[in-house]
Amino acid sequence: MSGHFMFDGRPVPFEAGQTILEAARAAGHYIPHLCWHPDFPPHGSCKLCMVKVGGRHVSSCALEAKEGMEVESNTPEMNGERRALLQMLFVEGNHFCPSCEKSGNCQLQAQAYELEMTSARFDHFFPVRPVDASHPDILLDFNRCIFCELCVRASRDVDGKSVFALTNRGIHKHLVVNAESGQLGDTDFSADDLAANICPVGVILHKRVGFEVPIGERTYDEVPISVVSMRDKGSKP
């Protein structure tokens, strides 16, 4: 089955099984997202991809498109809610962009620019989160984790190593690595793993290359994420 649905008032075709986000994307319409990645099944946790269908909020990365759906996405209401979700993510962790080596390549930061987030609005949680420098090639700075679980999924489903998992729950949820010591250095993690190269923010960092590309010349410094994402459709989230 294939058909059409209306996306912000414009008809968009879809193939059977395609989600709203995938179909919109294929037709050249960008929907902001963080936990979705073209190479993985939908995760549905960040909720940035929320759209309204027939007045109801749904995750566009997870819901299959259906004939005749009326989807609202790029509206002040949806963008306002997305901005608020970003603000939540910013106050939950410790995101000091000017001193972060991911700055300019970070999707969270890029989304904040995209959605014109000018302040954090809410009070910062300032959680105490550790840094793990035990691995020879990789540094983990958990202060910036947004729990998209891309590293978890990549390590489990592609690298076949299950180096990462989540533990605890609620606001205390956090990542652990696959070692009794709790240290990345004691796992079989390697810098070539997909999991080492998929983090959308600045948690999983390669050592000794931090500022090879100067800030100001990085991916999202020059071009907004909505453009990068659509330009490199096959490969970039």
Partner 1 sequence: MPHIAQAAESVITKHGRDATRLLQILIDLQQALGYLPPAGISAVAAGLDLPRARVEGVAGFYSFLHLEPVGEYRILFSDNITDRMLGSLELRDALCRKLWVEQGKLSEDGLISIDVTSCTGMCDQGPAMLVNGLPITRVDHQRINEIAELVRTRVPLSAWPRAFFHVDDNIRRRDALLGQSFVSGSAIEAAIRLGRDQWIDEMRASRLRGRGGAGFTTCVKWEACRDAPGSDKVVVCNADEGEPGTFKDRVLLTRCADRVFEGMVLAAWATGANRGFMYLRGEYAYLRPALEAELARMRAAGLLGRTILGEAGFDFDIEIHLGAGAYVCGEESALIESLEGKRGTPRIRPPFPVTHGYLGRPTVVNNVETLTKTTLIALGGGAAFAATGTAQSTGTKLLSVSGDCAFPGIYEYPFGVRIDRVLEDCGAGDAHMVQVGGASGVTIAGYEFSRSIAFEDVPSAGAFMVFDSSRDPFDVAHNFVDFFTHESCGFCTPCRIGTSLLKGYMDKLARGYGAKKDLADIEWINRLLRNTSHCGLGSTAPNPVVDTLAKFRPAYERRLRTLDFEPAFDLDAALAAARRITGRDDPAAHLDSGDKQHTEGER
The binding site for ligand SF4 (CB under 6 A) comprises 145-151, 175, 198-201, 203-204
CB crowding 70-103: b at 16 or more within 10 Å, else e: ebbbeeeebeebbbebbbebbbbbbbebeebbbb
By beta-carbon proximity to partner 1, the closer residue of 59 and 229 is: 59
CB atoms within 10 A of CB 123: 7
| Residue 118 sits in the site that holds partner 1 (CB under 8 A) | no
**Residue 26 contacts residue 5 (beta carbons within 8 Å):** no
Give 227-232's long-range contacts (Cβ < 8 A, gap of 24+).
228/110, 229/30, 230/25, 230/28, 230/30
By beta-carbon proximity to ligand FES, the closer residue of 59 and 143 is: 59
Binding mask 41-70 for ligand FES (x = CB under 6 A): ---xxxxxx---------x-x---------
| Residue 34 sits in the site that holds ligand FES (CB under 6 A) | yes
Determine the number of helices (DSSP H) and then strands (DSSP E) in the chain: 6, 10
By beta-carbon proximity to ligand SF4, the closer residue of 18 and 178 is: 178
* Gap between the Cα atoms of 57 and 147, Å rounded: 21
DSSP state, residue 65: P
State which of residues 164, 198, 202, 203 lies at the interface with partner 1 (CB under 8 A).
164
**Amino acid making up residue 224:** P
Q: Which does 12 bind (CB under 5 to 8 A by kind): ligand FES, ligand SF4, partner 1, none?
A: none
Least Å from the CB of residue 13 to partner 1: 21
| Alpha-carbon distance values, 124 to 90, 105, 128 (Å) | 8, 23, 12
By beta-carbon proximity to ligand FES, the closer residue of 59 and 187 is: 59
| Alpha-carbon distance values, 181 to 104, 134, 178, 186, 195 (Å) | 33, 11, 9, 7, 20
Least Å from the CB of residue 223 to partner 1: 25
**Amino acid making up residue 118:** T
- Stretch of 77-85, 98-106, 133-141, 201-209 contacting partner 1, by CB under 8 A: 77-85
| Residue 38 sits in the site that holds ligand FES (CB under 6 A) | no
State which of residues 14, 30, 36, 164 lies at the interface with ligand FES (CB under 6 A).
36
By beta-carbon proximity to partner 1, the closer residue of 61 and 225 is: 61
Interface residues with ligand FES (CB under 6 A)? 33-36, 44-49, 59, 61
